Amino acid sequence: MEYKSLSLALKNWRLTHRLSLSDVETMTGISKSAISNYESRLRTPDLKNAKKLSDVLMVPMSDILEMSEYDRNKQK
């Protein structure tokens, strides 16, 4: 796992691929506001959205959940 934080991994992936929040919304079905909240570490995805992110980012679901847990702990 390259990143500890889902927020950093998601934003880096999106910018590296020159995608807008709207593009990721179209690819995943996750709202732009939710994606923005994940990138800003204001929220973490539920299991359904974690699975969608896992598929799009092409990383194991276990990594998504581990990075989400890291972000949750940083919110406190």
Cβ atoms of 68 and 6 closer than 8 Å = yes
Residue 53 forms part of a structural domain: yes
- Could you tell me the CATH number of the domain that includes residue 16? 1.10.260.40
Residue in 51, 59, 21 with CA at minimum distance from that of residue 37: 21
d(CA 72, CA 27): 25
Q: Which residues neighbour 52 within 8 Å (Cβ) at sequence distance 6 or greater?
A: 28, 29, 30, 45
Q: Kindly state whether residue 67 falls inside one of the protein's structural domains.
A: yes
Q: CA 4 to CA 50: how far, in whole Å?
A: 15
In the chain, the number of structural domains is 1
Instruction: Tell me the per-residue pLDDT of 18-67, one tens digit each, with 9 for 90 and over.
Output: 999 999 999 999 999 999 999 999 999 999 999 999 998 888 999 999 99
Which residues form the domain of 13?
6-75
Q: Is residue 40 part of a domain?
A: yes
pTM: 0.86
Q: Is residue 71 one of the residues assigned to a domain?
A: yes
49 lies in some domain: yes
